[in-house]
Each structure stands twice: as C-alpha cells, then as structure tokens.
Structure 1
C-alpha cells in the first residue's frame, strides 16, 4: 500500500507575480499574510458553526423535550433512559470510527464518509421535528447524534488537509471559537420560537419545540455547503482498488496502528492524559446544569449562563490559539488543566448562588474552547498524516469513552458521601492524573 502526500501548493501562481502567494516549507499550503485565514481554512471553520447549533440544542432543549415525552407516556425512569440513549450513541461511534477511519485514509474516501455521516445527522435532525412517541424520538435522536459525532471525527482529521502544522493551532481555535458564537444565533431563534410561538403562532409548546429542530437542521446544512465545495484530501494512502483493498486491510491496519501508538511513548502518554482531562472537561459541562438545579438555581438563570459560556468561549478560544503559537500547544494545554483544577475547587467549595454559577460559567468559557481546540490540533501534529483518520478514530474512542468515567465518579462519590460537593471534587482526581502524565510526556513538537 503506497503512502502519499499530494502537493497542492500554488507554485505556478507564486512565480507569476508579486501578489501571488508563495508555498510554505511543506509545499502543501500557500502562505497567508499574518492574522488572515485562507479561504480553505475559513470554509473548514464554518462547519463548526453549523454543527454546533445541534450540539447546543442537544444540551439545553432536547433533554427537556425528551423528558416531556417520557412523562406523558408515564415513564418514571427519565434520567436512566436518557443516559442509556447517550451511552448507546457514544459506544457506536467509539466502535465504528477506528474501522471506518482506516478505510477513509484511502484517497477520496474521507469526504464520502464525512458526507454520509453528515447527511445521516441532518436527516435524523429533521426527523426529530415529527410528532413521535418517546421511544421513536430517542431512536431518531441517537441516530442524529451518531451522524453528528461520526462527521466530527472525519472533520477533525480534515484539519491536516486544510492547513500547515504552523497554523494548525490557530485554525483549530478559530473553529471552536466561531462554533461557540455561531451556535447561539439559531439557539436564540429556537428559544424565541419555543417561548413565543404558542402566542404568536397558535401552536402548543411541543410543536414549537419541533420547529426548533427544523431550524437547527437547516442551519447545519447551510454552513456545511462551503466545506463540501472546497475540501481536497491532501494526505492519503493509495491502493490499486481503493475500496476493496481498504476493506481487506482494515483490521491489519488497525492492529498496526495500535502497535505504533503503544511503541510511541510520547503519543501514548498524551492519549492517556487526554482521556483523563477531556473526561473532566466533559463532566464539568454535562453535570453543571444538574448541579446548579440541585442547588436551587432558577432554570432561566442556568440557560442564560449557558449562553454566557458560549460568548466568553469565542474570544478566549481565539486568544488561546494565538498564545499556543507563542508558547506552544502543550504548554497551553497544561495551563488549561491547572485552570480546570481551580474551576472544580471553586464549584465544590464556593458555588452556592446564581451569581457564583455565573462566575463558574465565565471560568469554564475561558478555558473550554482552548483546551478542546489545542487538543485537536496538537494531536494532528504528532500523528502520521497519511493515517490521520485511523489515528483520529482512536482519538475519538478516548474522547467518547471519556464521557463515562467522570460522571460515574461524581455519581458514586455523591451517593456514598451524601454530599454533591464531594462528588464534584472527585473530578479533580482525573485532572491530577492528566497533569502528571502531561508533565512526564516529552513534547515531540518542542524545538
């Protein structure tokens, strides 16, 4: 199986005149004036704007709507049912992505897999707008979540085809930043429809909620078209018969990738550290609303605080990308892990009122986008680029299965001690483990 990196640098244009961009040292991407994004980078970034609308709606609106369907059907196990639905979606992606990622590393396959998962997510999001019973709705939602997360795995690996190593932190950070602020636009429209629709449209709240799913799907499509029109796969493996050879060699390639990861001490340490700290980050995000509710904080305050987090995350994610260019991505990840230790301590010992919850939301927004964006770009720098989808498949396993350990720690500690604050404090164990591993790891990108 031949390994190949396509040269897409516009060398001819660079030689024709002073205004034409010259090639980077890699010969793959044109130089752009400082502070500016290339058209290809912008078209990659806007997919974050599209899919983040569904992510935000899933965080704030979908659970409430699903709960109303369950209650109407007389179901009393709402929390566990919703938890099982989330777990099924995560496990399917964790199992599928390394296998499909290996096939997608073949020339021309990445965009096909991305398109397939994207269309699945959008069609299922549209399906959520139908008047379904609770079980049918949960099945459609799980399929939409699988479509979303599947597309994100291939989208993440497209980063290496979109920009150079030198610009990867900046571009990844802009993706998260614009995703945060862009997702608030359809979210605010959806909230307005849900609360104002019954009076203005003469529909009940459930019907207005279903309209919000339709709005989100259309937004998702609109901001995906630029990426579909512009994307070109730069790094890939070539085969005589692309699909057949890729399928036959998938499990052999996966075993080889696992062995290469195990032998690469620096990469292995980072992946384990990533598992721990991203679990802590996901747990803080997923548990903050329920923790605030238990403290008696008004639901309106919680929703507004969620929006505040999105707006704070926008400039902070961009700033984090710039700081990574100066101090290095790994160093900034370490700083974010330390900051999250402080956030957990604040939530455990000081969070009592709505004002303190707002402070928590601002603190989370300051570091959430930065640590997610730099993890994605740092990983892209230290893996073989012609096996990017395969490696990002393993990255996705670590990211998706990391949604389980933190919530289990919080739930178990709270149940044993009878103290929710002690449960929140248990998240610090994950962050300390990650910090130790990051400090031990030698940075392959350090000069």
Structure 2
C-alpha cells in the first residue's frame, strides 16, 4: 500500500491525540490511581474499598457526561459552535488536571472530586474532537487518520509519562531533594501543560465544515432536532445497532484501561513495576494502533474490530488467573496489541455511518453509549471487589460484554467506503 500524505488539517487534528493522551496514561491509568491509593491507605481505607471508591468516582463523572452529551452535541452542530464547545471542555480538563497538584496532603475526597472534574473536561472535549473527524479528512481516509491519531497519541502520552516516572523515581531514591509526594504532584502539572500546549494546532487549524444553520432559539431547536432523531430512529437503524454493539465491547475496554493500575496494586505489584509496565504498553501500543488502521483497508474495519474483541476476551480470561508481575507483563502486552486499534476503528467506523452535518449530535450518542458503558464496568468491578474481596471476578465477568458486542456487530452492514 502506498504511503499517504497528510494535510495540515489532518496533522493538526491528530496532534490533539498527541496532546490529550498524556491525561489518559498519567491521570486515568497510572500515576493518579497509584497516588490516590497511597493517600487512601494513609487515611486508613482498605485497598479493595479504595479501588471501589475510584470506580464509583469514574462512574459518577461518566454518568454526568452521558446525560449531557447528546444535548451538547446537538447544539454544537450549529454553525461555528463545535470548536467553542471543544475549547470550553478542553480548558476545564487541562486546568483541573494541574489543580490536582494543589490539593492538601491527606485529603482523599477533594482529590476524587477534582479528578471527576478532570474526567468531565477530558471526555467532554473528546465528543467534539471525535466529531471533527468528518471535517478534517475524506471518508476513505478516516480509518487511517483515526488510527494514526491513536498511534501518535501513545507516543505523545509516553513522553510526559517518562518525565513523570523519572521525577518520581529520582525523588524516591533521594537523587533529587524533593519528597515523592511533590514529585508526583509535579506530574499532574506536567500533564496539564502538555495537554494545553499541543492542543494549539487543533485550535488554530481545524474548522467546522459540516454544520446546520443557526436558529433564533438554539436550545429549543436542539431539543426539537434531538426529538426528531428519536422519531426517525428507523432511518438510522444501522447507526444505533452499531452503538449498541459498541456499548457492550467498549465497556470492557474502558474498564480495563481505567481500573488496571488499581487492580495491579491489589495483586501486590509494586508501584515501580506498574509504571514501567504501563510505559512499555504505551510504546508497544503505538505501532499496533497504526497497523490496525492499515489492516482495516486490507481486511475491512469490521474484521479488525472482531480481532480486537477476541484479543480482549483472552485478556479477561487471563486476568482472572493472574498472580504475578510476569502475568501482568503478559496481560499488558496483550492489551497493547489492540487497545488503540479497537478504539480508533470504532471512531472512524461510526464517523462513516453518520450524516456529516449532524456529526456532533451523533457523536453525542456515541459518547452517551460509551459513557453509560463506562458507568457499568467500573461499578461491576467495584461492587464485585467489595462483595468477594477480589477484583478478579469482576474482570472475568467482562467476557460476556465482549461476546455480546461481537454478536451485535455482525448485524451492522459495512460502511459505504468499503462498498466502493
């Protein structure tokens, strides 16, 4: 296959994956969960209970976004509003991420509250970022551009992650004269700054192409259009079947991403080993995400989504029997092969199915299905952890979600770009 050249607009859009992936690895997956677990332990909270609290916080933040996502998306479909909404949520997310560094020591509840705000900003901005895919590239390039975003995102996320790990380890060994707590908090500041700076190309060079003309009362018009979409649901049957499939399989993906570090801590894996494993996962995941995009052209998007779902079924089964650091290494490498690919191709597949002028509205639904799934998964793991005293049963139960998602995906026809 010939190498493709990317436009300035495509590259600027891709750079946001580079920018916000720092949040995904440092805040969602690695440093923050470990920091919170440490603060909670010092406050006398048992390990499995603090894991449950983290799960509940993720569930609350994602529930808020699930409620407002379609409404915000519908409003943002009006001409000139998509970027304004994107900017507002991006700013909330990046600033609140830096604010984590200023929470007084030992206060685990305020830490969770600000973490929830960062999650609202991060995921809210992604509604509009994902919807911009229809504005930045042609339909036949969406799979590759989306996958390239995830691939570069893993590299972009790895750089501030490496800086954060270096600070924490140097502080732990006394090589630099600062406490580990301060070093960890500096990681939050680095992440917020990285996110802010590398979003600038997106703000400068990406514009809304597909839109709907504004009405005198935008809010009333948005609710009316949202209602019409529900009334015409048969017209968009393909879109909603895909969303139902996505709801199930992305639940498992998101839960494994957000809860993996806490789960590893419960298994007794040291913080240092967890950070190193997660860094290796980032580096391995980068080329695999791009490979998924390339293979989608050869074998079809759906085929590669099936591959990702199958890999995650194996991951959930293996996680149930995991007992050692080596097991966690194996699990992490399995995740690295498919984590970015399944997310990137889901995003581009959906973008090819929806009407472009209503992309924000439909990506609002994409968000609500993804976020309701993200409520269910962490709650499942959290409740199971408290009831059984082990998170392993909760992880294993995710298998059924991947199976249901795969079955529903079979009912979705190929996007138009694969039929020509």
Normalising by structure 2, we get a TM-score of 0.91
Taking a change above 3 Å as real, the CA distance of residues 363 and 79 of structure 1, as seen in their structure-2 partners, is: closer
Cα distance in structure 2, aligned partners of 1:381 and 1:392:
12
Aligned to 2:51: 79
Partners of 2:32 and 2:263 in 1: CA distance? 18
Q: Is the 8 A contact 2:90 2:121 kept in 1?
A: yes
2:183 matched to which residue of 1? 208
The answer to whether the aligner puts 1:114 opposite 2:83 as a matched pair is no
Q: Give me the whole-angstrom Cα distance separating, in 1, the residues matched to 2:392 and 2:51.
A: 20
Structure 2: stretches of 5+ with no match in the other structure = none
Map 1:233-382; keep pairs closer than 5 Å.
233-239=208-214, 241=215, 244-349=216-321, 351-382=322-353
Question: What is the deviation of 1:431?
Answer: 1.2
Could you say what secondary structure the match of 1:264 adopts? helix
Shift in alpha-carbon separation, 1:284–1:85, aligned structure 2, 3 A:
closer
Q: 1:271 to 1:148 in 2, by over 3 A?
A: same
Name the counterpart of 2:33: 63
**d(CA) in 2 for partners of 1:413 and 1:73?**
23
* Offset at residue 126 of structure 1 (A): 2.2
The structure having more radius of gyration, on CA atoms, is 1
Contact map agreement 1:341 1:428 (CA 8 A) in 2: yes
Structure 1 residue 414, shift from structure 2 partner: 6.6
Structure 1 residue 390 corresponds to structure 2 residue 368? no
Aligned equivalents of 1:407, 1:217: Cα separation in 2: 25
State whether structure 2 residue 105 is matched by structure 1 residue 134. no
- Normalising by structure 1, report the TM-score: 0.85
SS at match of 1:238: coil
Q: CA offsets, 1:51-86, max 9 Å, x none?
A: 111121112111232344445555565334333322
More relative contact order in 1 or in 2 (CA 8 Å, sep 6+)? 2
How far residue 200 of structure 1 moved from its aligned partner, in angstroms, is 4.9
Query: CA shift at 1:418, angstroms?
Result: 7.3
Distance, in Å, in 2 between the alignment partners of 1:417 and 1:80 is 12
Say whether the 8 Å CA contact 1:266–1:443 is kept in structure 2. no
Q: Which residue of 2 aligns with 1:30?
A: none
Corresponding residue for 2:195? 220
- Looking at structure 2, the residues matched to 414 and 85 of structure 1 have their Cα atoms a distance apart, in angstroms, of 15
Cα distance 1:426–1:74, how it changes in 2: closer, same or farther (>3 A)? closer
Q: Aligned in 2, Cα 1:359/1:271: closer, same or farther, shift over 3 Å?
A: same
- 8 Å CA contact 2:71–2:226 kept in 1: the answer is yes
- Structure 1 portions without partners, runs of 5+: 1-32
Displacement, 1:39?
A: 1.4
Q: How far apart, CA to CA, are the structure 2 residues paired with 1:268 and 1:418?
A: 37
> Distance between the aligned counterparts of 2:178 and 2:347, measured in 1?
43
